[in-house]
């Protein structure tokens, strides 16, 4: 069972927390009227439909329908139970708690995850200790010092060393009595045919890979070649395999540490490798990220989008790095919300090499003032391998540039580049504009064809529309939530809703108000036990209605419900009347006829 937390502790954490500040650490929020909006962290979307209401202390996504208070947000996003969510909010907001909240497993799956996390943290600390405090780690530590990393940085990132012994970690786990299933699922070992284990990582400098919460979920090991170990046929970098904890398509190196700084500065820098991120950090640039040695994935891009709309690519300056930059720009351009820049490192160096050669200040200057727009980068990149003195190569180059120019959103920027191309290649601006229009029409046609394929192969399910009666029930409950007089009237007049879920919600609302001085939506969500009730109250709370009700509005809404209730009663009596007729029960049939007549009169009076 999950731990019971005193209500006063829950109230204290909730009252001292602003949901905008907490959600803002996971989602890039922008002011939209009186609320804040951003991309939903619970489903894929390109247009923001996720809203956070500061006055109500709740969130809601109009796309996927998820919503709730600050505790619900962390439960949904990080898979926490309620006590863990309360503790997590308190930690994020630095709220001291007089009550100790223990983390307890809520299922067999989460229990195994906790064991895997504990094992990864144990291994991380062990590798780090070997690097910093043992003779075995001296050579690896010297290597890192030669690469320009100081001890403070090594401590900050918990960098370690896996010794050249295939059974080292196996012995540690056996001493700690780690279960075989945990070892098997950790990705830290290679299992032989006889069922025994070998260490996956050996003779490698170890970089812990963390999830957004800063928990170590995997490792990347950099081979350390020495006079005693040539490393022949060994990959330079070796990452943890896919496990229950680690998914390389989702993880970004340094995301957990850089997240708040990225949000503060409003931009992120993407590097190719871990050493580049570390070099930038040591130079005072703490907004660097790196993928797991592969191309960027949609999951990684969405994680970045939730933090910032400005991304700078600073990949290696060699040919492979430039190709990777072009590929990343092509992928990122599909995300129209992102403002993109690219930095080309001079002399075919990578950022780490540039730092060691020219120093921290020069690296900072390059990353700040050496930024190119995507189009300028493409101008330089597409020129590689072409002889622009050759007419055929020149036409190929211009056609590719015009296709790229279509993607430039700013008319002023487009006009600037048209002028540059016209002057450089002695072509009329009008001719280039005509070519641009043609390229734009061609791309629109391609997009239309793609949309038609999507429309015919993957129809989007439509949300069922609400009846007039159900809309009236929701509107009345909205008023009841926000206006004491309406709430008391609904209870005193014993209003009977047509749909049972709204009647149940009214009962919950009345019960809640018996022990609370005022209605607080964020607290009421904690009060409700059933998820269906929570979803319903959230959907009702985001209705667009005027600030205050009128007597006429409340009367009309109650009439709609009353009429619907009478109509249902008539249908019910008519069905019973038909059954009585079939059974030959004339007395019962007559009684029901009289009831139907009376109900019909009431319905007509209600409609007047």
The predicted-structure confidence for 266-320, as pLDDT tens digits, reads as follows 899 999 989 999 999 999 999 999 987 667 888 888 888 888 889 999 999 999 8
Which run of H or E residues covers position 579? helix 551-583
Answer whether residue 402 shows pLDDT above 90. Answer: no
pLDDT of residue 144: 95
Neighbouring-strand partners of residue 191: 197
Q: Reply yes or no on whether the pLDDT at 457 is more than 70.
A: no
Q: Ranked by mean pLDDT, which of 154-158, 246-250, 453-457 comes out on top?
A: 154-158
pLDDT score, position 289: 96
> What pLDDT sits at residue 447?
58
Q: Which residues of 164-188 are buried (b: 16+ CB within 10 A; e: fewer)?
A: bebebbbeebeeeebeeeebebbbb
pLDDT at 33: 85
Q: Is the pLDDT of residue 455 over 50?
A: no
515-572: pLDDT as tens digits: 788 888 888 888 887 888 888 888 898 888 888 888 888 888 887 877 775 666 666 7
Q: Report the pLDDT value the prediction gives residue 449, as an integer from 0 to 100.
A: 60
Name the token pair of 177.
């009595």
**Which pLDDT tens digit goes with each residue over 368-382?**
999 999 999 999 998
Q: Is the pLDDT of residue 230 over 80?
A: no
Is the pLDDT score of 163 beyond 50?
yes
Q: Does residue 237 sit in helix, strand or coil?
A: strand
pLDDT-derived band at 355 (thresholds 50, 70, 90) equals very high
Tens digits of residue pLDDT in 490-508: 888 777 887 878 888 888 8
Q: Which residues of 277-303 are buried (b: 16+ CB within 10 A; e: fewer)?
A: bbbbbbbebbbbbbbbbeebbeebbbb
pLDDT value of residue 219? 96
Q: How high is the pLDDT of residue 220? A: 94
Confidence (pLDDT) at 506: 86
Distance CA 186, CA 591 (A): 74
What is the three-class DSSP state of 310? Answer: strand
Q: Which pLDDT score, from 0 to 100, does residue 568 have?
A: 63
Amino acid 103: pLDDT: 54
- From the number of C-beta atoms within 10 Å of its C-beta (0-12, 13-18, 19+), residue 96 rates as exposed
Check the CA dihedral 274-275-276-282 and report its sign. positive
Please determine, for residue 467, whether its predicted confidence score (pLDDT) is greater than 50.
yes
3-state helix, strand, coil in the chain (%, to 5): 55, 10, 35
Contact indicator for 495, 561 with CB cutoff of 8 Å:
yes
Q: Which residues, in sequence order, are CB contacts of 487 under 8 Å at separation 6+?
A: 479, 480, 481, 509, 510, 513, 519
Q: Which secondary structure element, helix H or strand E, spans residue 352, and what is its range?
A: helix 351-358
55 CB-side CA count, 13 A = 6
Which has the closest alpha carbon to 62: 20, 19, 32?
32
Contact 3, 104 (CB under 8 A): yes
| Rounded average pLDDT over 21-26 | 88
What pLDDT is attached to residue 408?
85
What would you measure as the largest C-alpha separation in the chain, in angstroms? 107
Model pLDDT, residue 105? 45
Question: What is the rounded distance in angstroms from the CA atom of residue 99 to the CA atom of residue 10?
Answer: 10
pLDDT tens readout for residues 443-453:
776 656 655 54
Distance CA 381, CA 275 (A): 25
């Amino acid at each position: 069972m999950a731990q019971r937390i005193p209500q006063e502790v829950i109230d204290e954490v909730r009252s001292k927390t602003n949901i905008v500040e907490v959600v803002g650490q996971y989602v890039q929020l922008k002011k939209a009227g009186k609320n804040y909006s951003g991309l939903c962290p619970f489903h894929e979307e390109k247009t923001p439909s996720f809203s956070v209401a500061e006055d109500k202390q709740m969130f809601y996504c109009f796309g996927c329908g998820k919503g709730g208070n600050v505790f619900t947000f962390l439960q949904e996003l990080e898979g926490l139970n309620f006590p863990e969510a309360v503790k997590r909010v308190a930690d994020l907001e630095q709220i001291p708690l007089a009550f100790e909240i223990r983390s307890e497993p809520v299922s067999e799956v989460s229990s195994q995850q906790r064991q895997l996390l504990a094992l990864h943290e144990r291994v991380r600390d062990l590798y780090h200790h070997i690097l910093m405090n043992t003779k075995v780690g001296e050579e690896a530590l010297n290597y890192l010092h030669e690469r320009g990393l100081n001890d403070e940085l090594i401590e900050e990132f918990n960098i370690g060393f896996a010794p050249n012994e295939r059974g080292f970690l196996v012995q540690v786990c056996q001493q700690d009595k780690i279960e075989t299933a945990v070892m098997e699922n950790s990705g830290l070992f290679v299992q032989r045919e006889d069922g025994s284990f070998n260490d996956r990582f050996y003779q490698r400098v170890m970089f812990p890979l963390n999830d957004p919460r800063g928990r170590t979920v995997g490792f990347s090991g950099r081979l350390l070649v020495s006079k005693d170990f040539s490393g022949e046929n060994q990959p330079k970098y070796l990452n943890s395999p896919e496990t229950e904890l680690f998914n390389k398509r989702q993880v970004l190196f340094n995301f957990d540490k850089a997240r708040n700084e990225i949000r503060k500065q409003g931009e992120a820098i993407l590097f190719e490798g871990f050493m580049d991120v570390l070099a930038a950090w040591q130079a005072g640039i703490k907004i660097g990220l790196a993928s797991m040695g592969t191309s960027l994935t949609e999951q990684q891009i969405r994680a970045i989008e939730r933090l910032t709309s400005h991304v700078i690519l600073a990949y290696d300056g060699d040919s492979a790095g430039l190709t990777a930059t072009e590929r990343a720009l092509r992928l990122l351009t599909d995300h129209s919300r992102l403002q993109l820049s690219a930095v080309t490192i001079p002399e075919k160096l990578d950022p780490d090499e540039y730092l060691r050669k020219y120093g921290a200040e020069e690296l900072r200057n390059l990353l700040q003032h050496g930024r190119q727009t995507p189009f300028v980068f493409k101008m330089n990149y597409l020129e590689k391998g072409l002889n622009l003195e050759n007419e055929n190569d020149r036409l190929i180059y211009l056609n590719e540039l015009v296709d790229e120019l279509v993607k430039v959103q700013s008319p002023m920027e487009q006009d600037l580049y048209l002028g540059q191309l016209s002057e450089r290649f002695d072509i009329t601006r009008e001719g280039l504009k005509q070519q641009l229009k043609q390229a734009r029409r061609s791309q629109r046609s391609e997009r239309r064809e793609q949309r038609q394929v999507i429309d015919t192969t993957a129809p989007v399910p439509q949300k069922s529309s609400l009846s007039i009666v159900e809309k009236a029930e929701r509107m009345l409950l909205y008023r009841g939530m926000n206006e004491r007089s309406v709430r008391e009237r609904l209870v005193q007049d014993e209003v009977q809703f047509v749909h049972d879920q709204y009647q149940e919600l009214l009962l919950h609302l009345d019960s809640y108000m018996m022990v609370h001085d005022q209605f607080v939506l964020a607290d009421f969500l904690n009060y409700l036990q059933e998820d269906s009730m929570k979803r319903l109250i959230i959907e009702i709370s985001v209705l667009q209605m005027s600030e205050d009700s009128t007597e006429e509005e409340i009367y009309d809404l109650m009439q709609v419900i009353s009429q619907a209730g009478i109509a249902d009663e008539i249908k019910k009596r008519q069905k019973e009347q038909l059954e009585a007729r079939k059974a030959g029960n004339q007395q019962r049939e007559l009684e029901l006829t009289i009831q139907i007549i009376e109900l019909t009169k009431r319905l007509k009076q209600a409609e007047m």
